[in-house]
Amino acid sequence: MAGQTGVERWVDEVARITRPDRIHWCDGSEGEYHKLIEGMVGDGTLIRLNQKSYPGCYLHRSNPSDVARTEHLTFICTSRKEDAGPTNNWMAPKEARERVGKLFEGSMKGRTMYVIPYIMGPAGSPYSKLGVEITDSPYVVANMRLMTRMGKVALDRLSGSNGFVPGLHSLGDLSPDRRFILHFPEERLIWSIGSGYGGNALLGKKCYALRIASWMGREGGWLAEHNMIIGLEDPTGQVTYIAGAFPSACGKTNLAMLVSPLQHLGYKVWTVGDDIAWLHVGPDGRLRAINPEAGFFGVAPGTSSKTNPNMMAAAGRNTIFTNVGVTPGGEPWWEGKDPTPPDGLIDWKGNRWAPGAEKAAHPNSRFTVPAGQCPSISPHWEDDDGVPISAILFGGRRARVAPLVYQSYSWQHGVFVGAGMASETTAAATGAVGVTRRDPMAMLPFCGYNMADYFGHWVAMGSRMKHPPAIFHVNWFRKDADGNFLWPGFGENVRVLMWILDRVRGRGKAVETPIGFVPAADGLEMDGLKLPAGTMQELLSIDRDAWSKELEDQGKFFEQFGDRLPNEMRQEHAKLAQRLSRVRVPLSPAETSKGS
């Protein structure tokens, strides 16, 4: 129709195929949100929680076959298979359109089709981007309102531009046999059908802000990363910003909301984001980060006032809980919230919970919380120009091989450290415990293109910056020979952040090792923390045999990329091998005299 905008044309086209009973354009207002919530309470999609102790909070129970992202049903649909790379599932765009297009035919019959215009990033930021999600799930609309800037604010910005990423989502029949999460990065298009859950359905999050945006970032000279962003305040009040990539179940959100036990020394952590960062080179030649999201989609089990008091405070109001248990008093409950399950608990499927039976909350149960409610939220979390990043952390769950922290020798070496990242699985993630999964930059499930090219893009980013951030690897999960964690973690991780801050400022006691700079035995601030004798040495030690095996595993992982693997990664791999071949075993900083 003449005079129609690009969005209107697309909405009409989608409506012709999916045949909804009604179309609702979301304005993002309070009134609209409350109407949606009331509708969902009315039809049982949401359960109202205790409004005295949890004002504005609701519980949603998803279909038990639809409780997590489904990586095996997630595809990158590029014209050439090699552009998706060996670590992604690939489907040819034509096949994807035919196979999955059919599933959308009439999929919204009897339902309302919601059109959600949204912004990823602060409304006024030059680094923010627009999206429009079409969905037939009011639960998705309510979550998108918490996770993005949606409605009028986005529509206003959209009217001046045709540049938006369309994302089509339908619950379909929720059958895993007809579930597909498709990304067409060349067209900047997302299709998702058959799931109403989290990363599969809230298309602004993993689908757009990571898979499609990583492709856009390579073309546009920026990075879309699976990163938390924090500011570390020092005793003078100066705040240094740090980004950090960690695979799921490695405490990324807890680190983003860390409560420092060293506030009496003047150190405090501010939260900018807990999951995704968009990183651009600013006019000052520094890497600047925005958090493209407006909320947290946090995992409930294990979250408590001990492990993450900031999240507990944030999730006490205006929150949508998904797949947690509920107490007879109408309060949400999950394993790890407090030590004793209350009597009369109802589990995540709506059944009476009995001790020894299944968990009360699903291991991937979640809360969706507005970020602004977090007590540690940084006053700069919505700055249009983002925050300047001085350090990048890569981290995984490694029982043996990685020391508590080490610093790379250069940007290129740091990219290799990120590319060689791996983490050991926990029961919550896969059911298999302690299996090492290689997960470069924590982006394995989220990189929208060939990871070899992604490593190349990271290397190239180094030369675009006048002041590239220093790169570190951290491991909070090292264990002793009896399988006990050596490091207390949580708030105590601020001690590691302080060493990182010192290093960024050209200070901080360190020793040169084959893998990078490791803190000297007395390098970390230990005020108020007593570790058993020898623990710090063990935490910082480097076992050459374990590293030789690591080197071999990394080499095998890199092999799958063939000639596409950047030479810089081969060079760094060879340099690490060489450095390892030169040292005695085992090596711990206490034995090393070379300082830096």
Interface residues with Mn ion (CB under 5 A) are 275
- The residue among 32 and 275 lying less far from Mn ion, judged by its C-beta, is 275
User: What residue 143 binds from Mn ion, ligand O2Y, none (CB within 5 to 8 A, per partner kind)?
Assistant: none
**Smallest separation, CB 197 to ligand O2Y (Å):** 5
3 state SS of 55: coil
Binding-site member from 107, 137, 248, 291 for ligand O2Y (CB under 6 A): 248
Distance separating alpha carbons of residues 267 and 257, to the nearest angstrom: 13
Distance separating alpha carbons of residues 475 and 403, to the nearest angstrom: 6
User: What residue 474 binds from ligand O2Y, Mn ion, none (CB within 5 to 8 A, per partner kind)?
Assistant: none
- The residue among 275 and 492 lying less far from ligand O2Y, judged by its C-beta, is 275
DSSP 531: P
- Give the residue at shortest CB distance from ligand O2Y: 198
User: What residue 197 binds from Mn ion, ligand O2Y, none (CB within 5 to 8 A, per partner kind)?
Assistant: ligand O2Y
Helix residue ranges per DSSP H, 127-282? 138-147, 152-159, 198-201, 213-220, 252-256
Cβ-count burial of 109 within 10 angstroms (0-12 exposed, 13-18 middle, 19+ buried)? exposed
Alpha carbon of 585 to those of 305, 543, 594: distances in Å? 42, 6, 16
Helix residue ranges per DSSP H, 165-285? 198-201, 213-220, 252-256
Beta bridge partners of 406: 473
The residue whose two tokens read 């960690």 is 246
Does residue 297 bind ligand O2Y (CB under 6 A)? yes
Structure tokens at 438: 């290689």
Counting every residue written for the chain, the total comes to 596
Distance separating alpha carbons of residues 513 and 592, to the nearest angstrom: 9
- The residue among 33 and 197 lying less far from Mn ion, judged by its C-beta, is 197
- The residue among 428 and 531 lying less far from Mn ion, judged by its C-beta, is 428
- The residue among 370 and 516 lying less far from ligand O2Y, judged by its C-beta, is 370
The DSSP element (H or E) to which 74 belongs, if any, is: strand 74-76
Does residue 229 bind ligand O2Y (CB under 6 A)? no
Chain residues 182-201 in contact with ligand O2Y, contact rule CB under 6 A = 197-200
Binding footprint of ligand O2Y, residue count (CB under 6 A):
10
Structure tokens at 228: 């938390």
Query: What letters, b where the CB count within 10 A reaches 16 and e where it falls short, cover 358-378?
Result: ebbbbbbbbbbbbbebbebbb
Chain residues 110-169 in contact with ligand O2Y, contact rule CB under 6 A = none
- The residue among 392 and 444 lying less far from ligand O2Y, judged by its C-beta, is 444
Structure tokens at 15: 């409506």
CB 291 within 8 A of CB 210: no
Q: Which residues are catalytic?
A: 250
Does residue 213 bind ligand O2Y (CB under 6 A)? no
Structure tokens at 204: 């602004």
Chain residues 336-365 in contact with ligand O2Y, contact rule CB under 6 A = 364
**Smallest separation, CB 440 to ligand O2Y (Å):** 14
DSSP 19: -
Work out the widest C-alpha separation in the chain, in whole angstroms.
77
**Smallest separation, CB 146 to Mn ion (Å):** 16
**Smallest separation, CB 571 to Mn ion (Å):** 31
User: What residue 364 binds from ligand O2Y, Mn ion, none (CB within 5 to 8 A, per partner kind)?
Assistant: ligand O2Y
- Taking residues 63 to 82 in sequence order and writing x for each that binds ligand O2Y by CB under 6 A, - otherwise, the string is -----xx-------------
- The residue among 362 and 473 lying less far from ligand O2Y, judged by its C-beta, is 362
User: What residue 69 binds from Mn ion, ligand O2Y, none (CB within 5 to 8 A, per partner kind)?
Assistant: ligand O2Y
User: What residue 198 binds from ligand O2Y, Mn ion, none (CB within 5 to 8 A, per partner kind)?
Assistant: ligand O2Y
CB 423 within 8 A of CB 550: no
**Smallest separation, CB 225 to ligand O2Y (Å):** 12
Residues in contact with ligand O2Y by the rule CB under 6 A: 68-69, 197-200, 248, 275, 297, 364
